[in-house]
Amino acid sequence: MTYSDHTMGEEHDHLIATALRIFAELGYDGVTLQTIVDAAGYDINVVHSVARTKAEMYLAVMQHADDLERSALEAALARFTPSKQGVITLADAYLDFFVAHPHVLALWQHRWMGDAADLPDLEERYTRSLSVQIAGTIKDLLPPDVAPDYLVWSVVWCVYGFLSGGVIGSGSDQGRHRHSDSGGRDLEGFRTFLHTMLDHLLTPLPQRPPDTGSSGR
């Protein structure tokens, strides 16, 4: 790699990281390409080497975010063991990814609230294949009354909800869990709950004895 190639690579990475942060903080609809230019501190011509429009920059950022998530979860899938603990370990990998990448979480939260509505099908492009892959991986481990797609998305909803809003508790659990993350959230307590929820969902309900009805007077 030449010095010029190295420099261009650093500029590209810095631009994508800056754009990710700006889109995560303000949303696509609240940003102009000039906002990203100013935040990155580059000439507009440098920015145009990556994207010539805000939409192109946003798609580059979404691709980057998807690459990060896919890399983390595919590594977890490569270590997957077909067991209840294997499913729990996958959920841990998902939680750990978004704890480590809060801007990716915020990017998708904006999207779920209708951000960038003029750029359709991003969920189909970036989310569907991975969620389908995970659902297919775990489906044979689930009881017959638990749908794999809903289990996968229950983990997604729980992780997004916890990391974005935390828990307003009743106080009954106070002191049970001691470790909080940098946002003051009880990450250890949530992880314990997530494990418990999955353990229950992955455990078949006990079989009821057949109802034989009345045997006489």
pLDDT reported for residue 193: 97
Q: What is the pLDDT of residues 85-116, one digit of tens each?
A: 999 999 999 999 999 999 999 999 999 999 99
Measure CA 127 to chain center: 9
C-beta separation of 4 from 12 below 8 A: no
Task: Over range 122-134, report the average pLDDT.
Answer: 93
The residue with tokens 């000439």 is: 43
Give the list of residues 6+ apart from residue 142 with CB closer than 8 angstroms, or none: 148, 151, 201, 202
* CA neighbor of 164 nearest in space, from 103, 85, 84: 103
Placement of tokens 């940003």 in the chain:
31
Q: Are 41 and 82 in contact (CB under 8 A)?
A: no
Q: Which residue ranges form the domains of the chain, and what is each CATH number?
A: 62-201 (1.10.357.10)
pLDDT of 175 over the 70 cut = no
